[in-house]
Amino acid sequence: MVSHWWKNPNNINNLLNAAEVLDGQYPDAQIVAVGQSAAWIVYALGELRSLKGRSADTQILAFTGHFMAEETRNHRLGERSEYSVDSKLYPHKSAFQSYFNYLADEHMSPAQVSQRYQKSGQKTVFVDMVVSGEGFASFMHTWFMALSKAPASARHGFVWEALAFHIYDWREQSPTHFAIEMEHEDTLIVPLMRAEGDGIDVTLSISNGQGESDVTAESERLAPAFDISAEGSGVLKYADNEERVKAIIAIIQQAAIDRLAAQAPAATCTNQYPVTVFARQNISARRP
């Protein structure tokens, strides 16, 4: 019999614990899951914020696959993994352009993130869970490539302070930084977090609903898939799993209600939580 992680109360408790850690560290930030790995944690964060009467300010971005390869780690320094382009997996330019268009539609292009910060002071925090780091490195390479294709005013006006990273690395000897090759021989340095610090079970997020082909009704995927590597489709794909996702959402919502009620019994949070309508076209928005 298949064991579903979301039917285990301990897993849901860990999910909410991780969400509260994120909220504690970035209470006013927009929290963005990169792909599926941290998607349910970020969703749970949005539920907790909403139940407290705050704006969810969460988003789940599609990204699947990779075209970056990890180079030999710098063991002498013991502090960073380096990533460079794998020419065999490098996407066609049309796939990149499709993804740039998707980012713009989601208001998550580099220019839009920078402009949001300049107008409101709100940071954007990218959250991911990695094993090799090649997927996240591919995302960041692509994301900043979108900036290089933007008008000169957007490129020169980009504010680095708009970004923060909360990246968990599951390796036993995790580096403290990623060094990701960018265009024009630039290198992006990304700091890492250790996963154990938030009490997250690796099987909860890494092993469920990861591949682009995982689009069946039994899939636990919340994030859409968008694999722009040479082996991917280069198009946005949604899993045919509306009922499964609704079931998981209902469990997370009730657990969040129960947690907040236990923390503050006199609070206005009750079990009369409005039913969430699962909208296929809005799956990557702040709340499904």
Average pLDDT over residues 219-233: 88
Model confidence at 76: pLDDT above 60 = no
- Region 118-122: what's the mean pLDDT? 96
pTM given for the model: 0.86
User: Quick one: average pLDDT of 84-112?
Assistant: 93
Q: What are the residue boundaries of the structural domains of the chain, listed by start?
A: 5-56+65-282
Q: Which of 18-22, 74-78, 104-108 has the lowest mean pLDDT?
A: 74-78
CA distance 255 to 158: 40
| Whole-number average pLDDT of the chain | 81
Which segment, 78-87, 125-134, 165-174, is predicted with the most confidence on average?
125-134
Choose between 234 and 156: higher pLDDT.
234
Does 195 or 148 have the greater pLDDT score? 148
Please indicate whether residue 276 or residue 39 has the higher confidence score (pLDDT).
Answer: 39
Half-sphere exposure of 59 (CA within 13 A, CB side): 18
Is the pLDDT confidence value at 20 over 90? yes
190 compared with 268, residue with greater pLDDT: 190
Q: What is the mean pLDDT of residues 167-177?
A: 76
pLDDT at 206 exceeding the cut of 60: no
* pLDDT at residue 214 greater than cutoff 80: no
**Angle in degrees, CA 156, 157, 159, rounded to 5:** 115
Give the per-residue pLDDT at 275.
32
pLDDT of residue 280: 31
Q: What is the pLDDT of residue 141?
A: 93
pLDDT value of residue 190: 84
Reduce the secondary structure of the chain to three states and give it as a string: CCCCHHHCHHHHHHHHHHHHHHHHHCCCCEEEEECCCCHHHHHHHHHHHHHCCCCCCEEEECCECCCEEECCCCCCCCCEEEEEECCCCCCCHHHHHHHHHHHHHCCCCHHHHHHHHHHHCCCEEEEEEECCCHHHHHHHHHHHHHHHCCCHHHHHCCCHHHEEEEEEECCCCCCCEEEEECHHHCEEEEECEEHHHHCCCHHHHCCCCCCCCCCCCCCCCCCCECECCCCCCCCCECCCCHHHHHHHHHHHHHHHHHHHHHHCCCCCCCCCCCCCCCCHHHCCCCCC
Residue 288 has pLDDT above 80, yes or no: no
